[in-house]
Structure 1
Amino acid sequence: MDEAVPTDLVQLIRRFPQIFPDNLPEGLPQEQPFDHRIESKLGIQTTVQRQFRLTQPDLQQLLKHVDYLLDKRIIRPSFSPFDSPILFIPKKDSGYRMCTDYRALNRVTIKSHYPIPHADELIDQFRKARIFSRIDLRGGYHQTVCSAWTRRAERPTLRRGSSTFAVT
């Protein structure tokens, strides 16, 4: 452990190692009381967006990432009529984050309205906090069970056949 990490935090990590796994769990997450659902505007059947040109290093990164997602069973073959392009954003640690451009899908989506807390309220809640952290939620978006329509709609273009996320 890093010497800058407080001792009580190190003890907590050692006590609950399952909370901080080194790798994503295999297969689908446990069943949830509800599935995440995207609702489309009336009469909208599909959205297709042209693929972005990828540099050779980005294409290699994509194929490597697709292999990883297939291996972890996060994606599976799909014949969905939807299509959204992929791009890579550099991380501060010199890695890359795979992103899907869902702007076309967003245009035909019924917006859900969920109240977002005011920044002042959040600051008040954190006023007495002692430990703050910044984490990269590895695969955080690949752990929510989605409805069948949502899985079809969220299909990214992966350049190696058509695949859709098993979860998102």
Structure 2
Amino acid sequence: MISRREVTEPQGLFHPCRAYSYAAIAFMLHSIEELEGLAAWVAARNLPVVITAPQLSQAITWLAIAVLGILIVGRTVTNRPVQIIVAGVVGALLANVVSHVGLSLATWTYMPGTGTALALVLPACLWLYRHMALADPARLVAAGIGVLAMAPVTWVALALAA
């Protein structure tokens, strides 16, 4: 006999539906690390980018809110269009991990966000990518578009914050 509990809610910490929540939590913690030190890191590099700490904080905050919202909706709404958007976000988050590592290596300094990107965002997003309610090739194409869209979306967020 199947109990009501077994029918109504997936159980266990590692159930695939939890991947959406874990990715959201990982990105939230990553954004907090960026908020704590990214503005100072950018200022210390003398980059040809003119952006103030409040503008950078505003851009990080709004991007984090958007990503969290998409991942939360993606956990509960499993239709194809929503899952395509989630796959795009996952691709962008994976590209963000690569950008943190690349910029840390290029400058030979620790870019704030690199630790949480590697320790939290990378495994959470890979797990979500593998278990999301969308099959390949749509998942792969959407994630690839997300990878390509990461930089332009970031620049738009920074421009809107300015």
Q: Where is the strand percentage greater, Structure 1 or Structure 2?
A: 1
Q: Where is the helix percentage greater, Structure 1 or Structure 2?
A: 2
- TM-score normalised by the shorter chain: which range applies? under 0.3
TM-score, with length taken from structure 1: 0.25
Larger Rg belongs to: 1
TM-score, with length taken from structure 2: 0.26
